Amino acid sequence: MESVYHDEEVVSEAQLTPQDQLRLQWQQQPGVTTLIRQKNVIDQNAELVPYAAVAGLPGWISPGMFALQGLVLIAFIAAGLNWQMTRHSGKLEDEIVALQENSKTEIKRQQEIISATQAEIRRISNSPNASFKLHMSAIPLTREQALTALNSSLEDSRTSEEQFKHNMAARERNLRARQSTMAIVNSGSPLIFSLALFLAAGLFSQGSQKEFARNRHARNLADYYLYFITAEGLWPNLVLLGFLFVALSGSDYGLTGLFSSVGPLFWVVFWIGFYFLLLRLFVTAARGLYRAMQARPPANEWGFDNRLLFRIHNSFFMVFAGLEAVFLALCYGFYFLQSHAG
């Protein structure tokens, strides 16, 4: 009896339209949040994704918002946390603290000299002697000569102290500007990485529509890309962000000693591993796109004949390079304004 009922259930589900199948999957899909539910539906039913726009699924997130939530928003939160934890730490913070300590020591020394000179001026002014022996003169000086020399020395000491304070303030301002700028760069570049995954949809769609002009789904490739790059990249994106935060902000977390001990070979392997994970994300996204478009996949999905993979790869790196260049230019402008303020 169980097998009969099961067969009837399979037959009835097979007779459903693609829209009805998608609605059924959406209704039966477990998940803590809508984002996770939608990811699971896309992962399990790539060929039904084209019908999401017409199936009228309650709570279904549009492609753009799905990618913004799954890629950009998560990256933004992670970047904010990384910035908060690293903006006052690391090598530059140690240099600032050392500079402040040295400044306090030198200013205290110069103030002691000024106090000693002032005390000497008061002693000579109140002394009944007619001549005085000072360390700055090899011969005895009259009261007037001694006071003139001491007042001149006092003025030089005060000028030297003010100049020292000015120079130390400028050095600290420059270090603070570098520190704040590097914290933004090291936290913002991973965010730019995730943003590039999102914004590459337009460039990918333009190129792919020309190659798949006869495919009836080609005009919706931007939406499909956002669906699959987010569904397949929700967890890999977090791993890749972690890689970038470690590489860029590792010294701020006290990993400088570890990094200096592993040598350049470690970083070669590190970045090869990073690129492989990113390429794997592109391969899985391209696989879903082929299923959604009902197009014949390449014989080797890792090969150069995988046209969708090629488009995703190049579109991402072109967008990332452009965004990163603009971002770094803005950061340099921010640094310049900070370092020259006051």
Task: Choose between 294 and 257: higher pLDDT.
Answer: 294
pLDDT given for residue 211 in this prediction = 87
**What percent of the chain shows pLDDT beyond 90?**
64
Which residues, other chains included, contact 171 with Cβ-Cβ below 8 Å and sequence gap of 6+? 99
pLDDT digits (tens, 9 = 90+) for 39-82: 999 999 999 999 998 888 899 999 999 999 999 999 999 999 99
Query: CA 288 to CA 277: how far, in whole Å?
Result: 17
- For residue 54, which of 23, 13, 16 has the smallest C-alpha distance? 23
**Any idea what DSSP says for residue 90?**
S
Residues comprising the chain, all counted: 342
Token pair of 287, please? Answer: 């696989």
For residue 35, give both structure tokens.
């984002």
Read off the amino acid at residue 24.
L
Tokens of residue 90, six digits:
């690391």
Residue whose pair of structure tokens reads 């477990």 in the numeric block: 30
At 111, list the tokens: 């103030």
- Check: CB of residue 71 under 8 Å from CB of residue 237: yes
In contact, 200 and 319? CB cutoff 8 Å? yes
- H/E run at residue 257: helix 256-262
The DSSP call for residue 49 is G
Q: Exposed, middle or buried: residue 125 (CB in 10 Å: 0-12, 13-18, 19+)? A: exposed
Give CA–CA dist 188/175, Å, rounded: 19
pTM: 0.84
The DSSP result for 108-172, as a single string, is HHHHHHHHHHHHHHHHHHH---SEE--TT-SS-EEHHHHHHHHHHHHHHHHHHHHHHHHHHHHHH
- Give yes or no for a contact between 172 and 99, defined as CB atoms under 8 angstroms apart: yes
CA 222 – CA 23 distance, rounded (Å)? 23
Burial 305-318 (b: 16+ CB within 10 A, else e): ebbbbbbbbebbee
Max Cα–Cα distance, the chain, nearest Å: 128
Q: Which among 45-49, 116-120, 197-201, 246-250 has the top mean pLDDT?
A: 197-201
CA-closest candidate to residue 234, choices 66, 121, 106, 104: 66
Choose between 257 and 288: higher pLDDT: 288
User: Is there a contact between 17 and 187 (Cβ–Cβ < 8 Å)?
Assistant: no
Whether residue 229 contacts residue 196, with contact meaning beta carbons closer than 8 Å, is answered with no
Please give the torsion angle defined by the CA atoms of residues 7, 13, 14 and 18, in that order, rounded to the nearest 10 degrees: -170
Residue 266: both structure tokens together: 């470690």
Model confidence pLDDT, tens digit, residues 137-164: 788 888 888 888 889 988 998 999 999 9
Quote the CA–CA distance of 309 and 136 in Å, as a whole number: 80
Would you place residue 342 in the very low, low, confident or very high pLDDT band (cuts 50, 70, 90)? low
**pLDDT of 90 strictly over 90:** no
DSSP 62: P
pLDDT at 136 over 90: no
Question: Domain spans of the chain?
Answer: 15-61, 94-171
Residue in 127, 124, 121 with CA at minimum distance from that of residue 154: 121
